[in-house]
Each structure stands twice: as C-alpha cells, then as structure tokens.
Amino acid sequence: MVIQGLRAPQTEDILPDKWYNILPDLPEPLPPPRNPDGSIVSPKELEAIFPRSLVEQEISTERWIEIPEELRTIYLELGRPTPLLRARRLEEALGTPAKIYFKYEGVLPTGSHKINTALAQAYYNKLEGTKRLTTETGAGQWGSALALAGAMFGLKVRVYMVRVSYEQKPYRRIVMQTYGAEVVPSPSPYTEAGRRILEQDPDNPGSLGIAISEAIEDALKNPDTKYSLGSVLNHVLLHQTIIGLEAKRQLEALGEYPDVVIGAVGGGSNYAGLAYPFIYDRLRGKSETRFIAVEPRAAPSMTRGEYRYDFGDTAGMTPLLKMHTIGHRFVPPPIHAGGLRYHGVAPTLSILVNNGIVEPVAYRQTEIFEAATFFARTEGIIPAPESAHAVKAAIDAALEAKKRNEKITILFNLSGHGLLDLKGYQDYLEGKLRDAEPEKIDLSYLPKLE
C-alpha cells in the first residue's frame, strides 16, 4: 500500500537552477553597511576579504541568480534535493488535525545546511584564483562545511577554532581535519591579534570574536587568501534558498502549500533559505502564510534586541550592519545550541520582522530538549539543538491548531542532526540542563548611527 503524502518526490528537477535574492522584493530598502564613522562601506572595501562575484551577489538587485552547472552537479552528488518528509507519527502523538512537514538538511555530509553556501563560496573563490580560505568556528558546524567544500574545490582551508571548543569538542575538529583542513586553536600565534592576547594571557580560552579577528587578519595579509562567512550576509542567505525552492516544488507535487513556515534563527541563513521563497508569494499578496522565526531566550536578538547599527562580530572588526541586536559585547549563557548564540541577525530578516511579515518567538533550552526528545521518539531523527527550536515551535503550532480544530499545513526546517551534540541530550536526560536569560540588555556603548 502506498501512503499518500508521506514523502515528496526527489529528482534532479526538484533542485532549482537559480537562487532567489530577496533584495528587490523587500518592503523597504536595505540600509548599507557602515564604518564606525558613519561612512558607507564600498564594494571595493569588501573585495579585500571576499571575491568580487560574492560581493556582487551581496548587493545585487537581480531577483534570480543562476546556479553554475558545475556547482549544481555537486549539490546533486552530495544528496540534494534533501527529503521533504511528513511527521505523521508526531501528528498522531499530538492528536492534531494539522499536517506537519519538514525539510531535512541533516542528510548532507556534514550534517547541516551549511554546506549549501560553503560549496558556493568555495566555487566562486576557486574561479577567481583564491588558493586558500580562512574562517572561524565555534562548535564546528560551519568549519566542517567549509573544510569539505575546500576539499572538493582544491582550496586550502584554515579554521580558527575557539580554544575551549578545540579542547572540549574534539569530534567536529576531527571532522574538519579528516577533510584536510588546518584547524588552529584561537587565540593562535599566527596573527598579531592572537599573539597580543597570548602574550598577556597564554591560557586565554578564546571567543568567536577573537577567532573572527584572526581569520580576517590572515586573509588581509595573504594575497592568495580570502575570508569566508557562514551566515548573516545576503550572499550566504541567497545560497540557502535552494532549501525553500526545493520544498515548494516538493509540496506542490503533493498538492500542498504551507499555512505556517517555521525555522530556527542564529544568523538567519537556514530560516531565510526555507522561508524567503514563500515570503516571495506573500509579498505579492498571493498567500497569507505565517512566518515564525525561533530563537533561544538566552540570546534574544529579535524578541528583545533593538534595530540599530552594530558590528557583525564581537571584536568590532567587521562593518556595522543595521539589524536586531543585543549588542556585540553581549556574552550569552553557554546553551547547547551554540549556533544560535549570535548577538545579531541577518539585516534582511530584520526588515521582515519590522514589517510584521516574520513573527519572532523565543524558547528556553529545557523546553527545546523536551520537544527534541519527543520528536526523536516519534520520528526517529535526533535534531541538532539549534534545529530543535524549530521542532518546538512546530509542535506548538500543531497544538494550537488542535485547540481550534484547524486542518492547517505546517512546514519547518530541520537544519541538522544532533549526533555530534549528545552532551546536550545527556544533560537533559540526567536532569542537569539549566535555563538562563539576560536580565537586561545594555546597548549604550554602541555607536549612534542612523
């Protein structure tokens, strides 16, 4: 017997041949990146650390951007289109009349959506003669993706990994090394920024901000080297739209269209990837779909932050971006969803939040792991702690539909699996998980830019 609507078709035709760029469709123009003195950062300045084609994508007003055939082939070889699955056993366990579908990015080789942009970035760098890429990584999901992308396109990759993670989370470091990347604990002796810190404090545990400073300094000093970023920027978000474009075609084949689209937000790339192709319809008045973006209460940029200019990194090295921020100096409590601890959010997503198109919600990590465990026991997949935020919001939407007896269709992004994040599950199962959230958010130190 064939059960209708459990699994959408997965063929080459499902993978799109163009990315969707939301810039020309935004309800208001995107404020430009600025320097601390207020001057606008020029594309030329960005080309010091990024290849020209990615800077062009960053500011492009073309709605559709061709995916190069060579890259599209690699997407197919690595397992795209990813499955769109129906969580039927979860629906039954909740007793909801709602249908719950999820796009599963965890089947990709490094276990999350991040490889989608890593491959694109490696491709364009290779095309423009870059020999070597640098980046930073905290937990290691982004570093793993870039390490694999470097291996596939013949680029050297150096990953500055926050020292505490390097020592305490060896498995993702080993993943990166297996792909041939050079992983150095940050602060490192390879950069001035690193040496300065090590001189004063040889046991400094490092931070994402220090690692970013080192990766950028390395790229600026070596002419054959560029820097690579895994979220927040427009070119990164648009590479991820293959997720939503595939989901649209897969749902269409099942005769479905989502009433609610849900995803977890760190910098915003996996959520934008799933949601923007559907927001395209809503902005044209063709749907009334709700869009729910989920963040942790521990790092509540969208729900408690302010919309203003802030640095992209904790060290204040990058241009200032106008976005919802809780301040680059904010140090979030050490929750297990490391990928959601970012202080800001993608500027395009901020505009959609301001215009009431995307609704932000925030959850505690105990309720996140409860939802993730329930999902694992019904659907079999152990979600990444980041992705579990989307699972929790999908469950809540399904329970609300049950209360109102509404047969809605829910779509969420399961951005990655949690098989390298078992410490969080261990703490949850042993009752050791703690919740924490900032009491107040101080932004008085931020530059005052309009």
Residues that bind ligand PLP in the complex, under the rule CB under 6 A: 112, 114, 141, 231, 264-271, 339-340, 384, 386-387, 415-416
User: What DSSP line would sit under 295-323, residue for residue?
Assistant: EETTS-HHHH-EEEEEESSTTS-SPEEEE
User: Residue 445 gets which letter from DSSP?
Assistant: T
Nearer to ligand PLP, 266 or 424 (CB): 266
Name the minimum Å distance from CB 138 to ligand PLP: 9
Name the minimum Å distance from CB 232 to ligand PLP: 7
Determine the Cα–Cα distance for residues 288 and 284; give it in Å rounded to an integer.
10
Task: With both helix axes pointing from N to C terminus, report the angle between 208-221 and 192-200 in degrees, rounded to the nearest 10.
Answer: 140
Q: Which residues, including other chains, have CB under 8 Å from residue 233's CB and lie 6 or more apart?
A: 58, 346
Q: HSE (CB half, 13 Å, CA atoms) of 66?
A: 5
Name the minimum Å distance from CB 66 to ligand PLP: 23
Whether 176 contacts 206, CB under 8 Å = no
Structure tokens at 319: 């241009």
Whether 322 contacts 437, CB under 8 Å = no
Residue 199, H or E segment = helix 192-200
Whether 186 contacts 163, CB under 8 Å = yes
Determine the Cα–Cα distance for residues 153 and 130; give it in Å rounded to an integer.
11
Name the minimum Å distance from CB 137 to ligand PLP: 10
Name the minimum Å distance from CB 419 to ligand PLP: 11
User: Residue 105 gets which letter from DSSP?
Assistant: G
Nearer to ligand PLP, 97 or 109 (CB): 109
Q: Which residues, including other chains, have CB under 8 Å from residue 144's CB and lie 6 or more apart?
A: 110, 111, 114, 137, 172, 175, 176, 179
Nearer to ligand PLP, 33 or 339 (CB): 339
Nearer to ligand PLP, 84 or 372 (CB): 372
Nearer to ligand PLP, 225 or 270 (CB): 270
Nearer to ligand PLP, 98 or 237 (CB): 237
Nearer to ligand PLP, 195 or 423 (CB): 423
Q: HSE (CB half, 13 Å, CA atoms) of 168?
A: 11
Whether 25 contacts 68, CB under 8 Å = no
Name the minimum Å distance from CB 305 to ligand PLP: 15
Nearer to ligand PLP, 72 or 172 (CB): 172
Nearer to ligand PLP, 185 or 296 (CB): 296
Name the minimum Å distance from CB 365 to ligand PLP: 14
Determine the Cα–Cα distance for residues 177 and 298; give it in Å rounded to an integer.
31
Q: Specify the residue for token string 């329930």.
A: 374
Residue 152, H or E segment = helix 141-153
Is the peptide bond preceding residue 332 cis, with omega within 30 degrees of 0? no
User: What DSSP line would sit under 415-436, residue for residue?
Assistant: -BB-TT-HHHHHHHHTT-----
Nearer to ligand PLP, 160 or 190 (CB): 160
Name the minimum Å distance from CB 210 to ligand PLP: 19
Nearer to ligand PLP, 194 or 416 (CB): 416
